[in-house]
Structure 1
Amino acid sequence: MEAVKTKEGWKRERSTPSLQEVYKSMAVPKRGSSFRKFLAFAGPGYLVAVGYMDPGNWATDLAGGAMFNYSLLSVILISNIMAILLQSLTARLGIATGRDLAQACRDHYSKPVNFVLWLLCELAIAACDLAEVIGSAIALQLLFGLPLIYGVLLTSLDVMLVLFLQNKGFRYIESIVISLIVVILICFGAEMIFSKPDIGGIFGGFVPRAEILQNPEMLYIALGILGATVMPHNLYLHSSIVQTRNYEETEEGKRSAIKFATIDSTVALTLALFINAAILILSAAAFHTTGHTEVAEIQDAYQLLTPLLGTGLASILFAVALLAAGQNSTLTGTLAGQIVMEGFLNIRLKPWIRRLITRLIAIVPAVIVIAVTGEKGTGDLLILSQVVLSLQLSFAVIPLVMFTTDKRKMGALVAPKWVAVLSWIVAVIIAVLNAYLLYGTFFS
Structure 2
Amino acid sequence: MSVDNEDLVASMGQAKSSQNNEDLGSAGELSLMGPQPQYGLLQNHSDDSLSGQPETTSSVNAVSGDPSRSLGPVPEEDPDFEHRVPIPEEEDYSFSFRKLWAFTGPGFLMSIAYLDPGNIESDLQSGFHANFQLLWILMLATLMGLLLQRLSARLGVVTGMHLAEVCFREYPKVPRILLWLMVEIAIIGSDMQEVIGTAIAFNLLSNGKIPLYGGVLITITDTFVFLFLDKYGLRKLEAFFALLITIMAISFGYEYITVAPDQKAVLAGLFIPRCQGCDSQASLQAVGIIGAIIMPHNIYLHSALVKSREIHREKKEAVKEANMYFFIEACIALLIAFIINLFVVSVFAQGLYNHTNAEIHDMCVEQGSIYTEYFPNNTDLIKQMDIFKGGVYLGCEFGAVALYIWAIGILASGQSSTMTGTYAGQFVMEGFLNLKWPRWKRIMLTRSIAILPTIFIAAFKGVHDLTGMNDLLNVVMSLQLPFALIPILTFTSADALMSDFKNGIIAKIFCFLLAIAVIGINMFFVVTYIPSLPQHWAMYVFVAILLCAYIIFILYLFWYCLITLGFTFLRNIPMPCCSLNAQSYNLEGLAEDTDRDTAEDKDGDTEDKPNTAERDTSMDDGHQ
* Shorter-chain TM band: over 0.9
Distance 1:357 1:19 in 2: 24
- Among 214, 223, 228, the alignment partner of 2:287 is 223
Give the deviation of 1:370 after TM superposition: 2.0
Residue in structure 2 matched with residue 28 of structure 1 by the alignment: 87
Q: How far does the alpha carbon of each residue in 1:6-48 deviate from its partner, in whole angstroms, 9 at most, with x for none?
A: 4576876635499725256110012175111111100111111
Distance 1:180 1:18 in 2: 32
Distance 2:524 2:285 in 1: 13
Alignment of 1:92-111 (within 5 A): 92-111=154-173
8 Å CA contact 2:37, 2:170 repeated in 1: no
- Among 252, 259, 267, the alignment partner of 1:203 is 267
Alignment of 1:399-438 (within 5 A): 399-438=487-526
More helix by share: 1
Corresponding position: 1:84 with 2:173: no
Alignment of 1:293-308 (within 5 A): 293-308=382-397
Residue in structure 1 matched with residue 477 of structure 2 by the alignment: 389
Which amino acid in 2 is paired with 1:156?
Answer: I
Q: How far does the alpha carbon of each residue in 1:208-250 deviate from its partner, in whole angstroms, 9 at most, with x for none?
A: 22669x8532232223321111011110100001010001112
Residue in structure 1 matched with residue 16 of structure 2 by the alignment: none
Alignment of 1:150-165 (within 5 A): 150-165=214-229
Give the deviation of 1:79 after TM superposition: 0.8
Identify the range of structure 1 (236-245 vs 299-308) with the bigger mean alpha-carbon deviation. 299-308
8 Å CA contact 1:140, 1:146 repeated in 2: yes
Which amino acid in 1 is paired with 2:323?
Answer: I
Corresponding position: 1:51 with 2:145: no
Alignment of 1:303-314 (within 5 A): 303-308=392-397, 310-314=398-402
Distance 2:407 2:269 in 1: 26
Task: List runs of 5+ in structure 1 lacking aligned partners.
Answer: none
Identify the range of structure 1 (419-428 vs 402-411) with the bigger mean alpha-carbon deviation. 419-428
Q: How far does the alpha carbon of each residue in 1:55-83 deviate from its partner, in whole angstroms, 9 at most, with x for none?
A: 01122111221122112212211110100
* Secondary structure at 1:94 match in 2: helix
* Secondary structure at 1:294 match in 2: coil
Residue in structure 1 matched with residue 351 of structure 2 by the alignment: 286
Distance 1:431 1:295 in 2: 27
Identify the range of structure 1 (118-127 vs 162-171) with the bigger mean alpha-carbon deviation. 162-171
Corresponding position: 1:266 with 2:355: no
* Secondary structure at 1:27 match in 2: coil
Distance 1:219 1:16 in 2: 47
Distance 1:405 1:153 in 2: 44
* Secondary structure at 1:208 match in 2: coil
| Aligned length in residues | 442
8 Å CA contact 2:35, 2:169 repeated in 1: no
8 Å CA contact 1:18, 1:343 repeated in 2: no
8 Å CA contact 1:152, 1:366 repeated in 2: yes
8 Å CA contact 2:296, 2:484 repeated in 1: yes
- Among 90, 114, 125, the alignment partner of 2:176 is 114
Distance 2:396 2:201 in 1: 19
Closer/same/farther in 2, CA of residues 19 and 323 from structure 1, 3 Å limit? farther
Residue in structure 1 matched with residue 403 of structure 2 by the alignment: 315
Residue in structure 2 matched with residue 342 of structure 1 by the alignment: 430
8 Å CA contact 1:216, 1:440 repeated in 2: no
* Secondary structure at 2:191 match in 1: helix
Give the deviation of 1:357 after TM superposition: 0.8
Identify the range of structure 1 (232-241 vs 220-229) with the bigger mean alpha-carbon deviation. 220-229
Distance 2:414 2:350 in 1: 24
Corresponding position: 1:257 with 2:333: no
Which amino acid in 2 is paired with 1:30?
Answer: E
Residue in structure 1 matched with residue 305 of structure 2 by the alignment: 241
Q: How far does the alpha carbon of each residue in 1:260-319 deviate from its partner, in whole angstroms, 9 at most, with x for none?
A: 1111111101111111111111111111154464342222111111232x3332111111
Q: How far does the alpha carbon of each residue in 1:306-362 deviate from its partner, in whole angstroms, 9 at most, with x for none?
A: 232x33321111111111111100110110000000010011111111011111111
Distance 2:74 2:455 in 1: 39
Give the deviation of 1:154 after TM superposition: 1.1
Q: How far does the alpha carbon of each residue in 1:186-229 deviate from its partner, in whole angstroms, 9 at most, with x for none?
A: 112211111010112212222322669x8532232223321111
Distance 1:345 1:2 in 2: 12
Residue in structure 2 matched with residue 3 of structure 1 by the alignment: 36
Identity %: 35
Which amino acid in 2 is paired with 1:14?
Answer: P
Distance 2:76 2:144 in 1: 27
8 Å CA contact 2:165, 2:432 repeated in 1: yes
Give the deviation of 1:417 after TM superposition: 2.8
Which amino acid in 1 is paired with 2:490?
Answer: M
8 Å CA contact 2:38, 2:169 repeated in 1: no
Residue in structure 2 matched with residue 331 of structure 1 by the alignment: 419
Task: List runs of 5+ in structure 2 lacking aligned partners.
Answer: 1-33, 52-71, 358-381, 533-624
Distance 2:280 2:77 in 1: 41
* Secondary structure at 1:168 match in 2: coil
> Cα RMSD over matched residues?
2.1
Corresponding position: 1:128 with 2:190: yes
8 Å CA contact 1:23, 1:243 repeated in 2: no
Q: How far does the alpha carbon of each residue in 1:140-193 deviate from its partner, in whole angstroms, 9 at most, with x for none?
A: 111123111011011011132122122111112110110110111111221111
Identify the range of structure 1 (54-63 vs 230-239) with the bigger mean alpha-carbon deviation. 54-63
